[in-house]
């Protein structure tokens, strides 16, 4: 994997670049639609390409390991062949999912024992077998196995967790270097910076990760309950240390405002379930603010969903989408998901354009307050 840093904004740390993988190029900053189980919920891959204009999607190691399982994925020739997505894929390590299973998981030095949320069966993840699993999935970008501590963790727990994550990272790198890609193209491994909301731990973690010399680096353990301003502060602390010539991936974040704030602080890559999850629940993101399409105010509004948006935004009216949600038609969730994903991709594309133009901060200031308003 290669990363070319093309432009840095004159008034901030915002950057524009190009990531080159075996499955194509990615223009940064970029948002990655979440395809947890090998599909982005309710959206065809043709729509992801043509409407959403997604350049890379994310898969989840935990979910893909449980379903369809490694035998099927390996027999298919990896996730790209299994789901027919021929552009880049990133897989997270499953660490966040295991973290969210508090109560049915046990952390040990060796790894993490957990029970499936599907049938209660017992499983064990180690840094080594997670690397093997991500090799089988075949993602272009693999994530290291880590523990994601709760946002309100105390210092002692956060430090203990970080030390475990760092020991696991060394084991991940060792296993990654001992193994080869299975499907004839290269894969790369990103370490993850943890450290909760403590500046010294974040600095230590960023230094530890930066010294590994990976092709890119991720920032994890944010947007898990800490105040938003603290999240921004942690991004600043970490990005002071992470190398500028490598892409920086902020995991699981977030709202359109979060994304613009993080871009200003030097983040290049994002993923979040919010566009599709909120879309399935009738919330649309737009430059004018958010719209709840179940509200009666849209009942007789025959104007386009978003005249400046993607194709579905222009051919369907607000009144029609309101009707679909009221009637509980599945098409409502599909249209809303496509709209939200396309908006997120449009947002980062516009950010890139203004970074290259050198007026990102001015543009961001002109749109960010309106993004959070309810229409």
**Catalytic positions, please?**
92, 271
Rounded to the nearest 10 degrees, the angle between the axes of helix 199-210 and helix 228-239 is 40
Single out the residue of 145, 147, 193 nearest to residue 171, CA to CA: 145
45 in a known ligand binding site: no
95 in a known ligand binding site: yes
194 in a known ligand binding site: yes
In terms of Cβ atoms closer than 10 Å to its own Cβ (0-12, 13-18, 19+), residue 101 is: middle
Calculate the alpha carbon distances from 11 to 242, 343, 360, 362 in Å: 20, 25, 8, 9
86 in a known ligand binding site: no
221 in a known ligand binding site: yes
Rounded to whole angstroms, the Cα distance separating 125 from 334 reads 34
Rounded to whole angstroms, the Cα distance separating 341 from 345 reads 6
Rounded to whole angstroms, the Cα distance separating 250 from 130 reads 21
* Cα torsion 39, 45, 47, 52: sign: positive
Rounded to whole angstroms, the Cα distance separating 219 from 196 reads 10
146 in a known ligand binding site: yes
Secondary structure of 204-231 in HEC code, one letter for each residue: HHHHHHHCCCCCCEEECCCCCCCCHHHH
Query: Is the Cβ–Cβ distance between 282 and 332 less than 8 Å?
Result: yes
- Strands of the chain (E only): list them: 2-8, 15-21, 24-28, 30-32, 57-60, 89-92, 105-107, 112-115, 122-125, 141-143, 188-190, 192-193, 217-219, 248-250, 269-271, 283-286, 289-292
Instruction: List, as residue ranges, the binding site.
Output: 92-96, 146, 194, 221
Instruction: List, as residue ranges, the binding site for substrate.
Output: 92-96, 146, 194, 221
């Amino acid at each position: 994997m290669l990363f070319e840093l093309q432009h840095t904004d004159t008034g901030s740390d915002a950057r524009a670049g190009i990531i080159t993988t075996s499955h194509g190029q990615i223009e940064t900053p970029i948002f990655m639609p979440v395809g947890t189980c090998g599909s982005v919920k309710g959206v065809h891959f043709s729509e992801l390409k043509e409407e959403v204009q997604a350049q890379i999607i994310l898969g989840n190691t935990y979910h893909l390991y449980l379903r369809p399982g490694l035998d099927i994925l390996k027999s298919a020739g990896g996730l790209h062949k299994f789901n027919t997505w021929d552009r880049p894929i990133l897989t997270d390590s499953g660490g966040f999912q295991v973290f969210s299973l508090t109560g049915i998981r046990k952390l040990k030095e060796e790894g993490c024992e957990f029970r499936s949320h599907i049938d209660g069966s017992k499983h064990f993840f180690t840094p080594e077998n997670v690397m093997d699993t991500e090799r089988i999935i075949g993602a272009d970008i693999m994530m290291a196995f880590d523990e994601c501590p709760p946002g309100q963790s105390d210092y002692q727990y956060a430090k203990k967790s970080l030390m475990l994550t760092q020991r696991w990272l060394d084991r991940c790198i060792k296993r990654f270097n001992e193994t080869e890609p299975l499907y004839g193209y290269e894969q790369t491994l990103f370490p993850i910076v943890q450290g909760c909301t403590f500046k010294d731990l974040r600095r230590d973690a960023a230094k530890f990760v930066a010294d590994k010399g990976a092709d890119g680096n991720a920032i994890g353990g944010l947007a898990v309950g800490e105040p938003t301003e603290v999240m921004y502060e942690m991004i600043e602390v970490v990005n002071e240390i992470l190398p500028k010539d490598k892409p920086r991936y902020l995991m699981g974040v977030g709202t359109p405002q979060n994304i613009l704030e993080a871009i200003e602080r030097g983040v290049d890559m994002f993923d979040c379930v919010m566009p599709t999850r909120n879309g399935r629940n009738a919330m649309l993101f737009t430059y004018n603010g958010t719209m709840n399409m179940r509200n009666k105010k849209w009942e007789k509004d025959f104007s386009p969903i978003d005249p400046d948006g993607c194709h579905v935004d222009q051919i369907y009216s607000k009144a029609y989408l309101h009707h679909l949600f009221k009637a509980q038609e599945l098409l409502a969730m599909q249209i809303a998901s496509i709209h939200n994903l396309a908006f997120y991709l449009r947002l980062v594309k516009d950010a890139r354009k203004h970074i290259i133009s050198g007026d990102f901060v001015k543009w961001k200031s002109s749109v960010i307050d309106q993004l959070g308003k309810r229409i």
